[in-house]
Amino acid sequence: MILRSSIFLGMFFLLALPAMVKAQSNSSPYSIVGLGNIENSAFDRYTGMANAGLALSDSRYVNNGNAASLPKLANHVFTFELAVRSSIVDYTGGGLSTINPNQKPPSPTVDIAFRRMAIATKITNKWGFSLGLEPYSTANYDYTANKLVQGNNAQIVLGEYHGSGGINRFYLGNGYQITRNTSLGINSSILFGSLQQVETLVSPDAQAVLATTTSVFLSGAYFDFSLQTKKRLNHHWISTYGISFSPQTTLRSSYDVVVTDGSTDTLKSDPTVNDRFTIPAQLKLGIALIKDDKYTFTINAEQQNWSDIRGNAFIPVGGASYKLIDNNKISIGFQKSNRLKNVYGIEYERSFFQLGLYGGNTYLQVSGLPVTDFGATLGFGKNSKKSGLGYYIALEAGRKGNWNSAILSENYLNINLILSYADHWFKGKKYY
């Protein structure tokens, strides 16, 4: 059974991963601003609880949002997790009119992308460790707009804008249990990646006359410090608390601009320009109540002060009708865990079911209206009885935009699949 499952999973990812990497076709218009869409989902087992897992920990699943949870991993267990997400997006509200009369109004789009890979283990009884790769932000947009002439606002060409890329986060997480109920953690991350925008100017006879490719490369260290503690309230109930803080971080950024003649002839290629871009500090708080290790209720809150951030020539953070504002979010989640005993008589979590709600402001305000993000989540996970395999499916359905139809809203359904494999290591045979 173990062998069959492993072969099945291996074949699935060998076949699907190459396609997943290139199948990102959803357009997220607001991702043209700043660093793109900053990822809200952690792609861990708390996604189905509206990602409200700051105060939670688990013995086999990695809690991506709080490194202080790592000491709670099972000893001598090596955990590997892989997350894939498919998104279905529909668009409503302002901005749906197209400049190009030949262009069809946008219809719901679907894409799929690899999102996260993580491994984790315990170094000692009190020291948990993980490393992983996941997106920090993504930019993916495609639209047409009038390109106006400076000075007289004449319109002689259309601009077609294609944005892609994103910032990736490679992190090393370390958590250390300092007391029986409290542990500290730090995620030391390297943010790296590029945001690319191709502006193609198109003449009225639909000929591409100029293409300007702007590539912004960003990199830098990013840290978030965390704490997790718990308190038993009575025989049945435990309360847990989590806090995470990421200080303001400055990323190195460099810019390349290449101008081509609508084809492949390079007209201009400027030398790289170096600059900096700042990510503001972020604070997250979480509280959870757990009954008999079976029912979990949790609430998270977070805040990040983007309004203080100044952009630069290549990463604009404000314009006549938009600006960055402080983002915030409240998430609440519920989980029911089904625990059984395995063939060795050891209790383990056979499956779990989750619900969640979330809402708040993103870091963007358009036409005086905040771009909000509200939604609900649903999760279901199951672990193998005889092996270390587990799978977890989480759905996130939400609306990013505003209830005011004056601005564009994205109605999305994210389908997350997280595959987990946990196995023992450094557990040699004993001979007597």
Return the residues of window 52-81 that contact other proteins according to CB under 8 A: none
Q: Of 206 and 320, which CB lies nearer to other proteins in the complex structure?
A: 320
98 binds other proteins (CB under 8 A): yes
Q: Of 127 and 380, which CB lies nearer to other proteins in the complex structure?
A: 380
Distances (CA, A) of 37 to 32, 81, 166, 258, 261: 8, 23, 9, 24, 30
Which among 30, 42, 29 has a CA at the least distance from the CA of 329? 42
**Number of Cβ within a 10 Å radius of residue 387:** 15
Distances (CA, A) of 78 to 62, 120, 128, 205, 420: 11, 6, 11, 60, 10
Q: Of 306 and 322, which CB lies nearer to other proteins in the complex structure?
A: 322
Taking CB under 8 A as the criterion, which residues in 204-233 touch other proteins? Answer: 209-210, 212, 214
404 binds other proteins (CB under 8 A): no
Which among 26, 108, 125 has a CA at the least distance from the CA of 72? 125
259 binds other proteins (CB under 8 A): yes
138 binds other proteins (CB under 8 A): no
Which among 391, 373, 290 has a CA at the least distance from the CA of 331? 373
151 binds other proteins (CB under 8 A): yes
Residues contacting 10, CB < 8 A, separation 6+: none
The answer to whether the CB of 174 falls within 8 A of the CB of 198 is no
Instruction: Write down the least CB distance from residue 97 to other proteins, Å.
Output: 6
Distances (CA, A) of 144 to 80, 160, 229: 42, 4, 51
Q: Which of 74, 131, 257, 369 binds other proteins (CB under 8 A)?
A: 257
Which among 212, 222, 217 has a CA at the least distance from the CA of 190? 222
Instruction: Write down the least CB distance from residue 106 to other proteins, Å.
Output: 3
Q: Given the rule CB under 8 A, which of 179-187, 276-284, 300-308, 309-317 is the region that contacts other proteins?
A: 309-317
294 binds other proteins (CB under 8 A): no
Q: Which of 38, 54, 62, 84 binds other proteins (CB under 8 A)?
A: 84
Taking CB under 8 A as the criterion, which residues in 330-359 touch other proteins? Answer: 351
142 binds other proteins (CB under 8 A): yes
| Number of chain positions touching other proteins (CB under 8 A) | 81
150 binds other proteins (CB under 8 A): yes
Q: Specify the amino acid at residue 324.
A: L
378 binds other proteins (CB under 8 A): no
Residue bearing tokens 């897992």:
53
264 binds other proteins (CB under 8 A): no
Q: Which of 6, 25, 239, 303 binds other proteins (CB under 8 A)?
A: 25
Q: Which of 316, 325, 387, 413 binds other proteins (CB under 8 A)?
A: 316
* Dihedral class, residue 368 (left if φ above 0, else alpha if ψ from -120 to 50, else beta): left
Euclidean distance between CA atoms 214 and 239, whole angstroms:
50
107 binds other proteins (CB under 8 A): yes
Q: Which of 6, 59, 75, 144 binds other proteins (CB under 8 A)?
A: 144
Q: Which of 59, 74, 80, 106 binds other proteins (CB under 8 A)?
A: 106
Euclidean distance between CA atoms 311 and 308, whole angstroms:
10
Taking CB under 8 A as the criterion, which residues in 3-22 touch other proteins? Answer: 12, 15-16, 19-20
Instruction: Write down the least CB distance from residue 159 to other proteins, Å.
Output: 6
Q: Which of 27, 79, 174, 420 binds other proteins (CB under 8 A)?
A: 27
Give the helix/strand (H/E) hosting 236.
Answer: none
Euclidean distance between CA atoms 249 and 306, whole angstroms:
12
> For the CA atoms of the chain, what is the radius of gyration?
23
Q: Of 297 and 391, which CB lies nearer to other proteins in the complex structure?
A: 391
254 binds other proteins (CB under 8 A): no
Angle at 262 between CA 257 and CA 267, to 5 degrees: 45
